[in-house]
Amino acid sequence: MFERKSGARRSSLVFVASLCACAGSAPVVAQDAADEGKTPEPKPARVSRAKPLSPNATINLVNLLVKQGVLTEEQAKSLVEQAANEAYVQRQAAKDATVKAGDAAKVAAAAAAASPPGVKHVTYVPEVVKRQLREDIKNEVMAQAEKENWASPGKYPEWASRIQFYGDMRLRYRGIYYPSGNDQYDAVNFNAINTGSPYDVSKTNPYYYPTYDVTQNRDQFRFRGRLGMVADLHDGLSASLRFAGGENNSPVSQNQTFGASGGNFSTYSLWIDRAFFKYQPREEFSLTAGRMDNPFWSPTDLVWYRDIGFDGFAARGKYEIAEGITSFVAGGAFPVFNTDLNAGINLPAYDGGPPTKLPSHDKWLFAGQLGVSAKLNDDYAFKIAAAYYDFSKVQGELSSPCRVYSASDGCNTDLTRPSFAQRGNTYMPLRSIISDTSNSGGTTGQYQYFGLAQQFRPFVASGEIDFGHFDPVHVVLNGEYLVNTAFDGKIRPDILANNLTGAFQISANEWYPGNYVGGKYGYLASATVGHREIRRLWDWNVFAGYKYLGSDAMVDAFVDADFGLGGTNLKGYFVGGNLGVGKNVWLSLRWMSANSISGVPYAVDVLHVDLNGKF
Where along the chain do its domains lie? Answer: 2-114, 123-158, 160-614
Look at residue 347 and tell me whether its pLDDT is greater than 80.
Answer: no
At residue 342, the pLDDT reads: 84
Across 426-445, average pLDDT:
89
Look at residue 462 and tell me whether its pLDDT is greater than 80.
Answer: yes
Give every CB contact of residue 37 below 8 A, 6+ residues apart in sequence.
none
The segment with the largest mean pLDDT, out of 81-95, 120-134, 326-340, 355-369, is 326-340
R_g of the chain computed on alpha carbons: 49
Residues 8 and 11: their CA atoms lie apart, in Å, by 5
What are the DSSP calls for 433-477, one per residue?
Answer: BPPSGGGTTTTS--EE-EEESS-B-EEEEEEEEEEEEETTEEEEE
**Helix and strand element counts for the chain (H, E):** 5, 23
Residues 453 and 439: their CA atoms lie apart, in Å, by 26
Specify the DSSP element, H or E, that contains 61.
Answer: helix 57-67
Residues 14 and 1: their CA atoms lie apart, in Å, by 21
341: left (phi over 0), alpha (psi -120 to 50) or beta: alpha
Of 589 and 108, the one with more pLDDT: 589
**CATH code linked to domain 160-614:** 2.40.160.180
Residues 415 and 124: their CA atoms lie apart, in Å, by 87
At residue 17, the pLDDT reads: 44
CA distance between the termini of the chain: 117
3-state DSSP assignment of residue 116: coil
Look at residue 518 and tell me whether its pLDDT is greater than 50.
Answer: yes
Specify the DSSP element, H or E, that contains 2.
Answer: helix 2-25
Give strand pairing partners of 470. 473
Q: What is the DSSP secondary structure assignment for residue 53, as one 8-state letter? A: P
Of 26 and 144, the one with more pLDDT: 144
At residue 59, the pLDDT reads: 74
Please give the mean pLDDT across all residues of the chain: 84
Query: Which residue type does 164 have?
Result: Q
At residue 12, the pLDDT reads: 42
Of 128-132, 381-385, 404-408, where does mean pLDDT reach its minimum?
Answer: 128-132
Residues 384 and 477: their CA atoms lie apart, in Å, by 12
Length of the chain, in residues: 615
The segment with the largest mean pLDDT, out of 36-50, 145-159, 228-242, 401-415, is 228-242
Pairing of strands 585-596, 570-582: antiparallel
Backbone torsions φ then ψ of 12, nearest 5 degrees:
-65, -35
3-state DSSP assignment of residue 430: coil
Look at residue 306 and tell me whether its pLDDT is greater than 60.
Answer: yes
At residue 50, the pLDDT reads: 47
Residues 366 and 92: their CA atoms lie apart, in Å, by 99
393 vs 273, 308, 362, 421, CA distance in Å? 25, 21, 7, 15
Pairing of strands 458-470, 380-392: antiparallel
Positive/negative CA dihedral, 42, 43, 44, 49: negative
- Quick check: 99 and 39 in contact, CB under 8 A? no
Residues 527 and 463: their CA atoms lie apart, in Å, by 12
Look at residue 216 and tell me whether its pLDDT is greater than 70.
Answer: yes
Closest among 19, 95, 83, 33 to 54, alpha carbons compared: 83
- Quick check: 384 and 462 in contact, CB under 8 A? yes
- Quick check: 536 and 614 in contact, CB under 8 A? no
Across 328-347, average pLDDT:
89
- Quick check: 277 and 231 in contact, CB under 8 A? no
pTM of the predicted protein model: 0.75
Specify the DSSP element, H or E, that contains 547.
Answer: strand 540-549
Closest among 527, 539, 612 to 574, alpha carbons compared: 527
Of 170-179, 220-229, 443-452, where does mean pLDDT reach its minimum?
Answer: 443-452
- Most distant CA pair in the chain: distance in Å? 154
At residue 337, the pLDDT reads: 95
pLDDT by residue (tens digit) across 86-111? 676 666 666 665 655 566 566 656 65
